[in-house]
Amino acid sequence: ETGVTQTPRHLVMGMTNKKSLKCEQHLGHNAMYWYKQSAKKPLELMFVYNFKEQTENNSVPSRFSPECPNSSHLFLHLHTLQPEDSALYLCASSQDSPNTEAFFGQGTRLTVV
Amino acid sequence: AQTVTQSQPEMSVQEAETVTLSCTYDTSENNYYLFWYKQPPSRQMILVIRQEAYKQQNATENRFSVNFQKAAKSFSLKISDSQLGDTAMYFCAFMKLFNAGNMLTFGGGTRLMVKP
């Protein structure tokens, strides 16, 4: 365990469903991230939150909606997803200073049917 | 924008032998950091080793070492005395200095199989 916990571990949802992914860290970090890992593409950064403020939105479609209520929690709200959104969604956290390690959760395996 | 390329999708090595994974990157930045992450079947991304671009000395971490060639923009990972537990996906990653969070750019990964 790295101190970053993601729930659920697996999620199957229909294209008309609304669901949320949760990430929690107890490492005292002030930056949190969402990454998408697809089968045929490198890990892609989706969002960055620093001190609860979103500092990066990497051209992510609006059907993905992040929320960071505090420095320890990060959510990814999903609605009207497409089958190509099926992937492993990884959450990470770090201090916002250079040369600091990013700690990753075990990811949520999302399947959109 | 930065790009990271790992040209070896899959590699295998016999237990106790040495293997080298390749990584090249492209950037216009002068100060940055490079990382190798390991992702075993459990899906947990684990940091293996890091290198600061301003340091000429290659980083080492027990059985893991890197060959950092800044001019060539190359950052290979050498695993000595390979163990069965080293079987995993290995990702090379680039991080530029950024004041509001550390954004990593990953390569496509190399799947390493250590054979008994």
How far is Cα A42 from Cα B106, in angstroms, rounded to an integer?
A: 6
B3 at interface of A, judged by CB pairs closer than 8 A: no
Q: Is B45 on the interface with A (CB under 8 A)?
A: yes
pLDDT at B83: 97
How sure is the predictor about A42, in pLDDT bands with cuts at 50, 70 and 90?
Answer: confident
Average pLDDT over chain B, rounded to whole? 93
Nearest to B43 by CA among A107, A55, A70: A107
Tell me the β-bridge partners of A18.
A79
- Structure-token match 């101190």, residue found: A3
Q: In chain B, what's the furthest Cα-to-Cα distance?
A: 45
Contact of A88 with A111, CB cutoff 8 Å: no
- pLDDT beyond 70 at A57: yes
Nearest CA to CA, how far is A73 from chain B (Å)?
Answer: 16
- Whether the CB-CB separation of B108 and B5 falls below 8 Å is answered with yes
- Mapped onto helix, strand or coil, the DSSP state of residue A104 is strand
What is the pLDDT confidence band of residue A1, given thresholds at 50, 70 and 90?
A: low
Tell me the chain A residues in contact with residue B95 when contact means C-beta distances shorter than 8 Å: 98
Which pLDDT tens digit goes with each residue over B10-39?
Answer: 999 999 999 999 999 999 888 889 999 999
- Report residue B105's pLDDT band, with 50, 70 and 90 as the boundaries: very high
- Banded pLDDT at A99 (limits 50, 70, 90): low
CB–CB contact B33 A99 (8 Å): yes
